[in-house]
């Protein structure tokens, strides 16, 4: 069973069909977060096999994002990944075996920092959201991230 956390603010809108498809799969235990704050605390408190992050997340209600907002940051998913991956020996050490992926509307070329420390995302773990990216391909993406 793949314990999945999918972090995206459009889970109830544009991504409803993909979200519902997850419930139909016997090998996936889906969990969701809709902003960076909710995701931060879910990741801090629980372990997941796979985490999928949208880069353009709203920050959520916590003050921890104020400095980033004041600096004009709009990609709180990127900030979240930097925090989590940067603290793998601290608050997030229980996620050491977790496989992270990015599912976003942006092109890979717009996000070179994802492939550098502290995130070090493998390029195969980056998928761009398109209208042609169907549920089966999304499910395959999750299973490939998990290594199954």
Q: What is the pLDDT of residue 87?
A: 86
Q: What is the pLDDT of residue 117?
A: 95
pTM for this predicted structure:
0.93
CATH number at residue 21: 3.40.50.2300
Token pair listed for 116: 């550098």
**Interstrand relation of 50-53 and 2-7 (parallel, antiparallel or unpaired):** parallel
Q: What is the pLDDT of residue 120?
A: 96
Enclosing domain of residue 45: 2-130+138-146
* CA–CA distance, 138 with 64 (Å, rounded to integer): 31
**Interstrand relation of 126-128 and 50-53 (parallel, antiparallel or unpaired):** unpaired
The per-residue pLDDT for range 125-146, each reduced to its tens digit, is 999 987 767 888 899 999 999 9
Domain count, the chain: 1
Ranges of H-type helices in the chain: 16-23, 36-45, 66-70, 76-86, 135-146
Long-range (24+ apart) CB contacts under 8 A made by 105-114 are 105/56, 105/129, 106/55, 106/56, 111/55, 111/75, 111/78, 113/78, 114/78, 114/81
């Amino acid at each position: 069973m793949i314990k999945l956390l999918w972090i995206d603010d459009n889970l109830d809108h544009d991504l409803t069909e993909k979200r519902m498809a997850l419930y139909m799969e016997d090998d996936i235990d889906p969990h969701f977060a809709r902003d960076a704050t909710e995701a931060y605390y879910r990741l801090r408190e629980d372990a997941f096999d796979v985490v999928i992050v949208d880069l353009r997340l709203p920050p959520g209600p916590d003050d921890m994002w104020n400095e980033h907002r004041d600096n004009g940051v709009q990609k709180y998913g990127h900030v979240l990944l930097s925090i989590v991956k940067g603290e793998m020996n601290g608050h997030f050490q229980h996620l050491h075996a977790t496989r992270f992926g990015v599912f976003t509307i942006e092109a890979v070329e717009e996000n070179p920092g994802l492939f550098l420390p502290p995130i070090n995302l493998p390029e195969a773990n980056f998928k761009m959201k398109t209208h042609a990216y169907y549920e089966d391909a999304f499910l395959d993406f999750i299973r490939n991230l998990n290594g199954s």
